[in-house]
Amino acid sequence: MAHVKSAKKRIITNEIRRQRNVARRSDVKSATKKVLAAIEANDLGLAKDLLKQAEAKISRASGKGVYKKNTASRKISRLAKRVAAASKVA
């Protein structure tokens, strides 16, 4: 355990940030799963709306440093591809 006051504060701050990052990452995963579930149910209108929401959450997480820029872009791209492919089939 740290003895210096600033080090103790750092430990607390790091834990708070870790918890926030875990919550953001979980939010992104949930949004992604909702999009995929809508695709499975062949509800393309809902899937497109959910894609917009998921894209916003991924971008926000990227801006906050949870994901790197390319990782966020890749996640958004793959989701969009899935929705587009489902639209072509239907």
pLDDT tens for 66-76 read: 999 999 999 99
Q: Going by C-beta distance under 8 Å and a sequence separation of 6 or more, which residues neighbour residue 80?
A: 51, 55
Report CA 22 to chain centroid distance, whole Å.
Answer: 10
Residue 1 has pLDDT above 90, yes or no: no
Does residue 51 register a pLDDT over 90? Answer: yes
What pLDDT does residue 31 have?
98
Tell me the pLDDT band of 2, cut-offs 50, 70 and 90.
confident
**What confidence tier does 55 reach under pLDDT thresholds 50, 70, 90?**
very high
- List, in order of start, the domains of the chain with CATH numbers: 5-89 (1.20.58.110)
pTM attached to this predicted model: 0.89
- pLDDT over 90 (residue 18): yes
In this prediction, residue 41 has a pLDDT band, given cuts at 50, 70 and 90, of very high
